[in-house]
């Protein structure tokens, strides 16, 4: 007898089978909620995120202080990654499930109270701002360029090139944020999603097709990049904040 085609990896299937549906939304509430509270504390309660040659990702591009209004300039920077992350297709699923129970999981009924305020998708404010995701991506790429500039700067000390623990943390953060940005669904669509045929011109796979295949292979891990980059931003900022507070010294590895 013919076996049905297996479409899901066995280990993933097993994990999905054994995890109760509420684990994922509960994780989202704790991780994303904790990150937002931390970010508010960091941006509104601190004037700078710079320690010698290290710039915190919350304060990158390092323009805070250029105009003398630290909080305003920090906000000028922070809203771009915020809009980018919260309009992300992956995070939308996570926070709609975790915070709004719309619904809390696949095949899970919505709470009765939702009958009076049904799910409206992205048609009403503020969720219609999610439709700006592609534009948020353009802005996020600009911020990413500055982040890489800050990362290079993290390897340049007073006495020249060097490697501190902070340099490594900032480098890992920049790599993870790059992976998150370029595995974006909107970027995948920009690269090749608009075309009906990739090889009509000469019967060979076009450059667009090759790029679309490449971005698609990154895109399948987009959720993992999303969480990894969120935790790396958090860790990088916390590390620099503790250095500024004098809790410990940055160990020089090289």
Q: Using CB under 6 A, list all residues that contact ligand FES.
A: 88-90, 133, 184-186, 222
Residues whose CB falls within 8 Å of the CB of residue 99, separated by 6 or more in sequence, listed in order: 28, 29, 33
Cβ closest to ligand FES, residue 28 vs residue 167: 28
Q: Give the residue with the Cβ less far from ligand FES, 155 or 187.
A: 187
In this complex, which beta carbon is closest to ligand FES, that of residue 74 or of residue 226? 226
d(CA 219, CA 221): 5
Are the C-beta atoms of residues 65 and 73 closer than 8 Å to each other?
A: yes
In whole angstroms, the minimum distance from the beta carbon of 165 to ligand FES comes to 28
* Cβ-contact 132, 83 below 8 angstroms: yes
Shortest spacing between CB 254 and ligand FES, in angstroms: 34
Please say whether the beta carbons of 71 and 43 come within 8 A: yes
* Least Cβ distance, residue 87 to ligand FES (angstroms): 8
Instruction: Report the candidate in 229, 131, 142, 134 with the shortest Cα–Cα distance to residue 190.
Output: 134
* Smallest separation (angstroms) from ligand FES to the CB of 186: 5
Q: What is the rounded distance in angstroms from the CA atom of residue 54 to the CA atom of residue 154? A: 5
Nearer to ligand FES, 63 or 141 (CB): 141
């Amino acid at each position: 007898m013919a076996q049905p085609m297996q479409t899901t990896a066995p280990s993933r299937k097993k994990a999905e089978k054994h995890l109760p549906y509420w684990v994922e939304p509960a994780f989202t509430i704790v991780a994303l909620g904790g990150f937002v509270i931390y970010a508010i504390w960091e941006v509104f309660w601190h004037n700078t995120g710079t320690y010698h040659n290290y710039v915190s990702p919350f304060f990158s591009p390092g323009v805070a202080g250029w105009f003398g209004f630290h909080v305003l300039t920090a906000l000028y920077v922070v809203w771009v990654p915020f809009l980018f992350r919260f309009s992300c297709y992956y995070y939308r699923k996570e926070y709609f499930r975790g915070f709004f129970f719309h619904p809390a999981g696949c095949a899970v009924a919505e709470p009765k109270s939702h009958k009076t305020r049904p799910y409206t998708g992205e048609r009403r404010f503020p969720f219609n701002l999610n439709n700006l995701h592609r534009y948020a991506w353009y802005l996020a790429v600009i911020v990413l360029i500055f982040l890489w500039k800050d990362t290079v700067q993290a390897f340049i000390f007073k006495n020249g090139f060097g490697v501190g623990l902070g340099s490594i943390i900032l480098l890992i953060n920049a790599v993870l944020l790059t992976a998150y940005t370029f595995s974006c669904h909107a970027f995948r669509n920009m690269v090749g999603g608009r075309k009906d045929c990739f090889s009509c011109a000469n019967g060979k796979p076009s450059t667009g097709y090759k790029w679309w295949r490449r971005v698609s292979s990154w895109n399948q891990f987009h959720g993992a990049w999303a969480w990894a980059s969120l935790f790396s931003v958090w860790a990088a900022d916390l590390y620099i904040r503790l250095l500024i507070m004098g809790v410990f010294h940055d160990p020089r590895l090289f």
